[in-house]
A and B are shown apart, each in its own frame.
Chain A
């Protein structure tokens, strides 16, 4: 089957979803009011509350939510064949992610621009807030571990990407300095930085000694590494240690020094990445060689694991944090929420869709696909590499040589992952500090104590699981746990929107159904994984995954109980502040 047809059908459904479903939700359920005074106007302070043009806000919202996760999840999930993955991405985006992102934005706008955490406290109670904090804590811990693994893995597989990625750091600091201290415009410096990075990438792809290949330095895969470990294990260990040192420094710097300028460069990379993939798709016009459904996938059932393997790209709780954290404070008119929130989710759906296409068109024959995606474990370990190769194959349609394209695509993925890592370690530090003050442990509120705990626990988590390539290479095993905690976060947000809608006497099925679906899938997946796979009596006993899985399962049950109590009680309708 032709891959362009899949992209066209997928995008057409997204358009229908935006045109009809989001319109129905906006008019009949949320009843958006163009005359409502949004927090951006009401509390306008020129800092957090700034009325912003909807196109600009959408651009910012989209670049904040799109990252490496909507690439990695789909690249693994095609293991079950392309149809289940495409269906979940398309339908998930239209009926779950769109409503979730849109809904969190609206609820926050109607509640002084408050974030999901505060709203959990306000709408459900103190326990919901604590639950929310713990779920975020576990989510960011998983993000740190998984993304550190993603970067280390790409550095080992594509050593030519190391130098350009490290060059991004001084370039970002230079931009930060130029923009902040000299008040320069940022478009030109960030484009120059991007050009320098890609120039180095082109050279590094061709010149051997510019490729920082730790495995080769230690005498190839069979060589001896450090501490008696194999070469690949040692390479993983060294990269993860370097990454953790980097992330410690990066996450304690002011955001304008490194994180924000990196984001400027990454915004360009997102545009470049999407352009390479979609234009490459048009020019190469590839055929899908992967099977519609994988007949050999009997080790792990697609139902319900597909729904947690693809989190970002179908529905992701992280978006709710962006919607309610920043976007809601900048919404110019309430009716813009549909454009910003719903289309933000659609943007990520489009990225996930093309990630699927890159992988399912990579292999010359169906047999090659089945050989690479021979088991769920092989798919998890090799999915990212397949995406990079698939994307570089699409890029050849634009005349970019495959090895240069592979370097550039891996740089894009690493840059996204590194920025996410920086943000999530920062976030973890804040949460540890908040829990410290909540439970009266003042030491935890200190920046360096909190950061050390965040970095050490993340490093331990990524190094403990062992994969086929030895020590440290098993970080991908945490992916289902990342997906689950992300879905649970989305579950809480959907619960809050449902409670809010119920109290206003509106139809809350549009958020209740996705919430029940998500909670059901995550609970089922966790029961299956925790009790039948990772437990001592399970098929692949693993204490670490068992413990984390059990904690997440406990949270899922807690949310179900909270949801039942919150939706069952007949509280007074919430009165909008503006109605007072």
Chain B
């Protein structure tokens, strides 16, 4: 009986927290997108003084980069240097 009640509370909490979790994830993703844009600012014509170092991040962000350009509405990678797809 107690287990059932606990299950019910867990279910209820899950229903409540679902949209909230989504919103947090969205905000975080937006921040990440902005960060990525700052790293690759040459793409929009802003000179990037640290472009050499951003290259070092390449292996860490290759998968994320692919998701990012898809989300930004670009079917293929916009940068010839990064060949994720």
Contact = CB atoms under 8 A, between A and B. Distances in A.
Contact of A256 (B16, B27, B71): B27
Nearest to A179: B20
Interface string B2-26: 0000000101111111111011111
Contact of B15 (A45, A46, A63, A256): A63
B75 interface: no
Given A45-B67, A46-B25, A180-B24, A260 B13 contact: no
A180 B17 CA distance: 11
A256 B18 contact: no
Contacts of B76: none
Interface string A522-548: 000000000000000000000000000
Contacts of B67: 45
A186 B13 contact: yes
Which of A56, A57, A255, A260 is the most central at the interface, judged by chain B CB atoms within 10 Å of its CB? Answer: A56
Nearest to B30: A47
B25 A56 contact: no
Interface residues of A, number: 26
Given A52-B18, A60-B19, A263-B19, A187 B25 contact: no
A167 to B, nearest CB: 20
Nearest to B23: A256
A50 B22 contact: yes
Contacts of A57: 18
B17 to A, nearest CB: 6
Contact of B11 (A47, A59, A263): A59
Contacts of B18: 52, 56-57, 60, 330
A267 B15 contact: yes
Contact of A255 (B15, B17, B23, B29): B23
Interface in A47-105: 47-48, 50, 52-53, 55-57, 59-60, 63
Interface in B38-85: 67, 71
Please classify the interface of chain B as helix (H, G, I), strand (E, B), loop, or mixed, using the class held by over half of its residues.
Answer: helix
Nearest to A58: B15
Interface in A280-331: 330
A31 interface: no
B33 to A, nearest CB: 11
Nearest to B11: A55
A180 B27 CA distance: 11
Contacts of A187: 9, 12-13, 16
Given A45-B67, A52-B18, A186-B17, A260 B12 contact: no
A39 to B, nearest CB: 14
A50 B18 CA distance: 10
A280 to B, nearest CB: 22
A260 B11 contact: no
Contact of A53 (B14, B17, B29, B71): B14
Contacts of B25: 46-47
Contacts of A190: 16
A264 interface: yes
Nearest to A57: B18
Contacts of A53: 14
A56 B20 CA distance: 13
A264 B12 CA distance: 11
Contact of B13 (A46, A180, A185): A185
A365 to B, nearest CB: 42
Given A45-B67, A47-B29, A187-B9, A260 B23 contact: yes
Interface in A209-266: 255-256, 260, 263-264
A186 B14 contact: no
Given A45-B67, A47-B25, A47-B26, A260 B20 contact: yes
Nearest to B12: A187
B22 A186 contact: no
B19 A47 contact: no
A60 B15 CA distance: 6
A255 B26 CA distance: 11
Contacts of B12: 59, 187
A437 to B, nearest CB: 15
A180 B22 CA distance: 12
B24 A264 contact: no
A171 to B, nearest CB: 15
With a 10 A CB-CB cut-off, give which of A60, A185, A330 has the most chain B CB atoms.
A60
A163 to B, nearest CB: 25
Interface in A16-63: 45-48, 50, 52-53, 55-57, 59-60, 63
Contacts of A185: 13, 17
B24 A260 contact: no
Nearest to B24: A180
A521 B16 CA distance: 37
Contacts of B24: 180, 256
A166 to B, nearest CB: 23
Nearest to A180: B24
A185 B13 CA distance: 9
Contacts of A186: 13, 16-17, 20
14 contacts: A45-B71, A47-B26, A48-B22, A48-B26, A56-B15, A60-B18, A180-B20, A185-B13, A187-B13, A187-B16, A255-B23, A260-B19, A267-B16, A330-B18
Interface of B: 9, 11-20, 22-27, 29, 67, 71
Given A47-B26, A48-B26, A264-B20, 13 more contacts: A45-B67, A47-B22, A47-B25, A53-B14, A57-B18, A59-B12, A59-B14, A59-B15, A187-B16, A256-B20, A260-B20, A263-B19, A267-B16
Interface of A: 45-48, 50, 52-53, 55-57, 59-60, 63, 179-180, 185-187, 190, 255-256, 260, 263-264, 267, 330
Ordered nearest first, which 3 A-B pairs have the shortest CB separation? A59-B15, A47-B25, A187-B13
